[in-house]
Amino acid sequence: MNQQVTKICKDFISELDDAIGKQKAENIFILTDDNTAHFCLPEVLKSEKLTGCHLINIPNGDENKNIESAVGIWKYLSENRATRKSLMINVGGGMITDIGGFTASTFKRGIRYINISTSLLGAVDAATGGKTGINFLGLKNEIGVFAPAESVLINIDFFKTLDAKNLRSGYAEMVKHALIDTREEWNVILSFDLENINFDELRELVDRSIRVKERVVEQDPKEQNIRKALNLGHTFGHAFESYSYKTERPALHGYAVIWGLLCELYLSHIKLNFPKEDLIKLRNLIKEYYGSFIIDCSDYENLFELMTHDKKNESNEINFTLLSDIGEIHINQTATKEEIFECFDFYAGF
């Protein structure tokens, strides 16, 4: 896998021109969704290196990160003579960088691509690390490949177009990165004012968060070992997210992850004695900024069934990453059905 370069831009167009110039592409394809086509594409197209490029647009929303959208992208690439020397530029949040990276890395066995992350969630999560994928049969990222972007460009100004819910969705992944890193990072994350966003301060926190992820990915690019630390919160979280769509109460990815973090830190507490005071700090953060996805005992079996299909599972056991303390990571952990239901009880009662 190539060494991906992630940059938080100071001079966006100049740095975009530089990234494009390094690829020496025969032709360029830009992928957007309806939102980024409106809010972000005009700024991207200020680059003279994009004169005459091809534009591909798909509807926004994670429900469109599917095989039908992928086929549409492949069809456009084929009909417009994309070759293995073409370049795709994915302009969007996690949905666009996931499906854009997947379609680029599979078309003609792989064309190069650049991610321009336009959402906080995408910047700290999907755009970096080389994971690509689409949802399939109601399951998150069920089909995909490891194929890093040539570079990832982050323009903090694009985050100013996001509403509070989408900013908080991205912040959830930063919370996760702090939990697997150090108590210092955890305290910094907890002290940030999500009610009144200081974008200069956020820029610094995003950079720190991305470096946490990069350090982990560099050690284990294909998730055979320590990269599983990045799955903290996601076993429960993906179940909440999938179930939210099944029950027609769609939840943003970061909201599902932070609810999953609460469950998995509780599981960490009962199995590995994770500090109760830090569990309470997370619970208070969620109460203040995220609310809850309402469930009761009638939902437990459905959520558990979704967890059994999680792609991280091995040997028919549900696989978790847990913590014994901030930064004290334990991968490949399992739990009984009774323990998982106890976590649901804790979550439902918080």
**CA-closest candidate to residue 155, choices 5, 10, 4, 6:** 10
Q: What share of the chain is helix, strand, coil (3-state, %, to 5)?
A: 55, 15, 30
Together in a domain, 180 and 55: no
Residues of the chain with pLDDT under 50: 1
Q: In 3-state terms, what secondary structure has residue 90?
A: strand
Residue 309's pLDDT is what? Answer: 85
Residue 139's pLDDT is what? Answer: 83
For 218-247, write each residue's pLDDT tens digit.
Answer: 898 888 899 999 999 999 999 999 999 999
Helix (H) or strand (E) holding 44: helix 41-44
Together in a domain, 324 and 242: yes
Q: Could you list the residue range(s) of the whole structural domain that residue 71 is in? A: 5-159
Give the end of a domain, one of 140, 159, 178: 159
Alpha-carbon gap, residue 41 to 35, rounded angstroms: 9
Together in a domain, 32 and 173: no
Together in a domain, 237 and 265: yes
The radius of gyration computed from the CA coordinates of the chain, to the nearest angstrom, equals 20
Tell me if 203 sits within 8 A of 150, measured CB to CB.
Answer: no
**CA-closest candidate to residue 161, choices 46, 41, 17:** 41
Together in a domain, 84 and 190: no
Together in a domain, 185 and 116: no
Together in a domain, 137 and 233: no
Together in a domain, 186 and 115: no
Alpha-carbon gap, residue 133 to 141, rounded angstroms: 5
Number of separate domains in the chain: 2
Together in a domain, 102 and 18: yes
Residue 141's pLDDT is what? Answer: 86
Q: Could you tell me the CATH number of the domain that includes residue 89?
A: 3.40.50.1970
Alpha-carbon gap, residue 304 to 226, rounded angstroms: 25
Residue 316's pLDDT is what? Answer: 75
Together in a domain, 155 and 184: no
Together in a domain, 231 and 298: yes
Together in a domain, 53 and 141: yes
pTM value is: 0.88
Q: Could you tell me the CATH number of the domain that includes residue 240?
A: 1.20.1090.10
Residue 112's pLDDT is what? Answer: 97
Residue 250's pLDDT is what? Answer: 92
